[in-house]
């Protein structure tokens, strides 16, 4: 089957060379592919010249219809393309693009909370921290964090109770796993810790995950020193490696927090044919897109939007869905690859001071 010449003529005759997002459909209206370009016409026509064996050649042979939307600029095209791919999962995007999975650390909302690596965020009352790109490594580190702090990692169905409740449940319960004997778990399965003691350990985990506390590292250093004093060098070396891994993870957490905080501003992007736009970006997420104001009423409109976006309660780094995480990472990448774009950004307060109509 060869690429459809009528389709090529249609693109040639109607598409314009301006930023846009295009969608390619198969004969049964199946969405095959979503793409973007700052020169849409040139980009789409290039598929018809693709050499045999390339992905573009396979794609155009299957394409029966192409539709597109023009967008004001490349930045918006990038975000729109990402959202469409996430939402619609076109076959050629999914098959040919390496799927990036992000992981989060979840602190469960249970009587004896657990700290778990997860790849999905749910509205279940738990707190989520992330996103983190390295899923396998995260699972390992989270297990170590739970061990250092004595938090359980058994199934959520394991019955738990606390020392303060022994009268209710009776003493003499036996631990359900070896971690109790190894003293790497406070063992609420047999009512060993007081409720406050377990909650304090959970709080230390939260603070560590927020990049605000070093307690787990200090605990490990004390243990390592003790092992070394007792000439148990093998165990000291194990602890040293664990400290290194947790420290690396802590550094990642702090750096990520910093990067997110740093991505809060008003971003002006010049658009095609003077269609300049303003994006209100808070913690790496695009909260609002507005036309660049030309007059007093336009400036008042932008000022109101800034008040709303930057004045609303920030749910913090934990309250993220994976799609939101993908958006943050995309925005972060945009500014990392195009550092000059930073010159187009301005602090919300500075914008209001300079431009809010009196
Ligand atoms: S010791 Fe008990 S509470 Fe801790 S992980 Fe094992 S089963 Fe769960």
Could you tell me if the CB of 186 is within 6 A of ligand 1? no
Read off the pLDDT of each residue in 57-64 and give the average, rounded to a whole number: 94
Structure tokens at 63: 């394409």
pLDDT of residue 272: 92
Q: Which residue has the tokens 């001071």?
A: 353
The answer to whether 75 and 91 have CB atoms below 8 angstroms apart is no
60 with 117, same domain: the answer is: no
Candidates 158, 197, 198: which one to mutate for ligand 1, based on the most atoms within 8 Å of Cβ? 158
120 with 239, same domain: the answer is: yes
Read off the pLDDT of each residue in 45-62 and give the average, rounded to a whole number: 93
Percentage of residues in the chain with pLDDT exceeding 90? 52
For residue 188, the ligand 1 atom closest to its alpha carbon is 3
pLDDT of residue 125: 82
Read off the pLDDT of each residue in 14-34 and give the average, rounded to a whole number: 96
174 with 313, same domain: the answer is: no
Residue 29 above 90 pLDDT? yes
Q: Is the peptide bond preceding residue 11 cis, with omega within 30 degrees of 0?
A: no
Structure tokens at 48: 């018809």
Residue 336 burial (CB count, 10 A): 10
For residue 180, the ligand 1 atom closest to its alpha carbon is 1
Find all residues with CB under 8 Å of 253, minimum gap 6, and list them: 129, 208, 209, 210, 211
Could you tell me if the CB of 153 is within 6 A of ligand 1? yes
Residue 296 sits in which domain range? Answer: 263-355
Could you tell me if the CB of 176 is within 6 A of ligand 1? yes
- Residue 209's Cβ-count burial label (10 Å; 0-12, 13-18, 19+) is buried
Q: Return the minimum-mean-pLDDT range out of 158-167, 223-232, 260-269.
A: 158-167
Q: What is the pLDDT of residues 69-86, one digit of tens each?
A: 999 999 999 999 988 988
Q: Which of 129-133, 190-194, 253-257 has the highest mean pLDDT?
A: 190-194
Domain-ending residue, one of 214, 236, 256: 256
Read off the pLDDT of each residue in 142-146 and give the average, rounded to a whole number: 90
136 with 188, same domain: the answer is: yes
pLDDT of residue 320: 60
Count of the separate structural domains present in the chain: 3
Residue 212 above 90 pLDDT? no
Q: Return the minimum-mean-pLDDT range out of 55-59, 203-207, 273-277.
A: 203-207
- From residue 183, alpha-carbon distances to 143, 151, 152, 188 in Å are 14, 10, 11, 12
pLDDT of residue 138: 85
155 with 178, same domain: the answer is: yes
pLDDT of residue 322: 60
223 with 275, same domain: the answer is: no
Residue 37 belongs to domain with CATH number: 3.40.1440.10
Residue 97 above 70 pLDDT? no
Between 354 and 253, the more confident residue is 354
182 with 243, same domain: the answer is: yes
pLDDT of residue 5: 82
64 with 118, same domain: the answer is: no
C-alpha angle 40/43/46, rounded to 5°? 145
Mean pLDDT of the residues in the chain? 87
Could you tell me if the CB of 143 is within 6 A of ligand 1? no
121 with 220, same domain: the answer is: yes
Q: What is the pLDDT of residues 299-350, one digit of tens each?
A: 999 999 999 999 876 655 554 666 777 788 889 889 989 999 999 999 999 9
Read off the pLDDT of each residue in 173-186 and give the average, rounded to a whole number: 86
pLDDT of residue 169: 59
For residue 176, the ligand 1 atom closest to its alpha carbon is 7
251 with 270, same domain: the answer is: no
Q: What is the pLDDT of residues 239-291, one digit of tens each?
A: 898 888 888 888 877 777 777 778 999 999 999 999 999 999 998 889 999 99
- Residue 122's Cβ-count burial label (10 Å; 0-12, 13-18, 19+) is exposed
Find all residues with CB under 8 Å of 133, minimum gap 6, and list them: 100, 102, 103, 329
Residue 100 above 70 pLDDT? no
273 with 241, same domain: the answer is: no
pLDDT of residue 229: 92
Candidates 108, 148, 177, 178: which one to mutate for ligand 1, based on the most atoms within 8 Å of Cβ? 177
pLDDT of residue 326: 76
Between 225 and 130, the more confident residue is 225
Domain-ending residue, one of 71, 96, 121: 96
Residue 93 above 80 pLDDT? yes
The answer to whether 151 and 185 have CB atoms below 8 angstroms apart is yes
SS (H, E, C) 107-136: ECCCCCCCEEEECCCCCCCCEEEEEECCHH
Could you tell me if the CB of 154 is within 6 A of ligand 1? yes
Distance 185 CA to ligand 1 centre (A): 6
Read off the pLDDT of each residue in 95-100 and give the average, rounded to a whole number: 60
Alpha helices in the chain (DSSP H): 5-14, 40-47, 55-62, 74-88, 91-96, 135-149, 166-169, 179-182, 195-209, 215-229, 233-262, 296-311, 322-337, 348-355
Between 144 and 114, the more confident residue is 114
Read off the pLDDT of each residue in 122-148 and give the average, rounded to a whole number: 81
Between 139 and 100, the more confident residue is 139
The answer to whether 259 and 332 have CB atoms below 8 angstroms apart is yes
Residue 111 above 80 pLDDT? yes
Could you tell me if the CB of 173 is within 6 A of ligand 1? no
Could you tell me if the CB of 151 is within 6 A of ligand 1? no
Domain-ending residue, one of 34, 61, 96: 96
78 with 21, same domain: the answer is: yes
């Amino acid at each position: 089957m060869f690429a459809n010449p009528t389709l090529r003529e249609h693109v040639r005759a109607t598409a314009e060379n301006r930023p846009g997002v295009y969608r390619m459909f198969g004969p049964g209206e199946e969405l095959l592919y979503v793409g973007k370009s700052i020169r849409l016409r040139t980009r789409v026509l290039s598929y018809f010249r693709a050499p045999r064996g390339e992905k573009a050649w396979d794609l155009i042979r299957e394409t029966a219809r192409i539709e597109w939307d023009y967008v004001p600029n490349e930045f918006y095209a990038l975000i729109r393309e990402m959202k469409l791919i996430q939402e619609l999962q076109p076959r050629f995007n999914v098959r040919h693009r390496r799927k990036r999975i992000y992981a989060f650390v979840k602190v469960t909302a249970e009587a004896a909370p657990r700290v778990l690596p997860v790849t999905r965020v749910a509205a279940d009352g738990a707190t989520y921290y992330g996103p983190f790109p390295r899923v396998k490594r995260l699972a390992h580190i989270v297990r170590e964090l739970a061990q250092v702090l004595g938090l359980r990692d058994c199934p959520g169905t394991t019955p738990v109770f606390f020392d303060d409740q022994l009268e209710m449940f009776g003493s003499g319960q036996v631990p359900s796993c070896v971690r109790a004997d190894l003293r790497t778990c406070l063992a609420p399965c047999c009512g060993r810790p007081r409720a406050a003691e377990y909650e304090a350990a959970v709080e230390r985990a939260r603070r560590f995950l927020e990049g605000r506390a070093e307690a787990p590292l200090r605990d490990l250093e004390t243990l390592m020193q003790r092992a070394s004093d007792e000439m148990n060098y093998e165990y000291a070396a194990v602890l040293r490696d664990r400290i290194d891994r947790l420290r690396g993870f802590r550094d990642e957490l702090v750096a990520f927090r910093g990067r997110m905080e740093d991505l809060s501003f008003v971003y002006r992007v010049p658009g095609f044919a003077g269609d300049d736009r303003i994006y209100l970006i808070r913690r790496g997420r695009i909260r609002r897109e507005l036309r660049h104001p030309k007059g007093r009423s336009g400036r008042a409109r932008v000022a109101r939007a800034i008040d709303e976006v930057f004045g609303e309660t920030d749910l913090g780094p934990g309250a993220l869905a994976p799609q939101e995480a993908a958006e943050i990472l995309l925005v972060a990448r945009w500014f990392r690859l195009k550092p000059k774009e930073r010159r187009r950004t301005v602090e919300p307060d500075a914008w209001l001071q300079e431009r809010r109509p009196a």
